[in-house]
């Protein structure tokens, strides 16, 4: 049976490909999902790929992932820098977690350089654009295997 993994995407990521492609790239979220699903299948994951613009929905999904999945990847989008609620949900979740960003937040505006949610992540992948999603899945697989050993 494939290991269940959640890959959650925060606000405005539904606009990928159209929103500031010079920062976020020209790849649409649907194309990222297709590539992620392919990689997940190769890794033996059953991938639950979701996006929401609503903080409470993301909190609910983190809690759901903790109850139903074996690993979690989250691109919190703008909530990275502002959401104590999302940090608390991630902190309460006991499964392996990776934070993911398309851009390098440390090379962005000052207010984007701090991640509140990173404190609850086992690792962070950023600045690699759409390929970062595939790399995050591979890193999560390694993290899960290390924890299981």
Active site residues: 24, 101
User: DSSP label at 11?
Assistant: T
Q: CA 57, 66, 99 angle in degrees (round to 5)? A: 70
Task: Measure the CA–CA gap between 71 and 62, rounded to whole angstroms.
Answer: 10
Closest CA to 93 of 138, 123, 116, 61: 61
Cα–Cα distance measured from residue 110 to residue 105, given in angstroms and rounded to the nearest whole number? 9
Cα(134)–Cα(37) distance, integer angstroms: 9
- Scanning 50-130, the segments in alpha helix (DSSP H) are 55-68, 84-92
* Residues 82 and 105: beta-carbon distance below 8 Å: no
DSSP summary character for residue 116: S
């Amino acid at each position: 049976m494939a290991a269940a993994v959640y890959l959650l995407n925060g606000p405005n990521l539904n606009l990928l490909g159209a929103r500031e492609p010079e920062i976020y790239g020209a790849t649409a979220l649907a194309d990222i999902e297709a590539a992620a699903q392919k990689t997940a299948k190769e890794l033996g994951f059953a991938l639950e790929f979701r996006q929401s613009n609503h903080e409470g929905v993301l909190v609910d999904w983190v809690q759901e992932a903790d109850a139903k999945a074996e690993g979690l990847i989250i691109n919190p989008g703008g909530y990275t820098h502002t959401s104590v609620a999302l940090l608390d949900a991630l902190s309460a979740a006991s499964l392996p977690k990776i934070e993911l960003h398309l851009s390098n937040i440390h090379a962005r505006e000052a207010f984007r350089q701090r991640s509140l949610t990173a404190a609850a992540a086992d690792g962070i992948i950023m600045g690699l654009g759409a390929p970062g999603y595939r790399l995050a899945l591979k890193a999560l697989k390694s993290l899960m295997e290390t924890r299981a050993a």
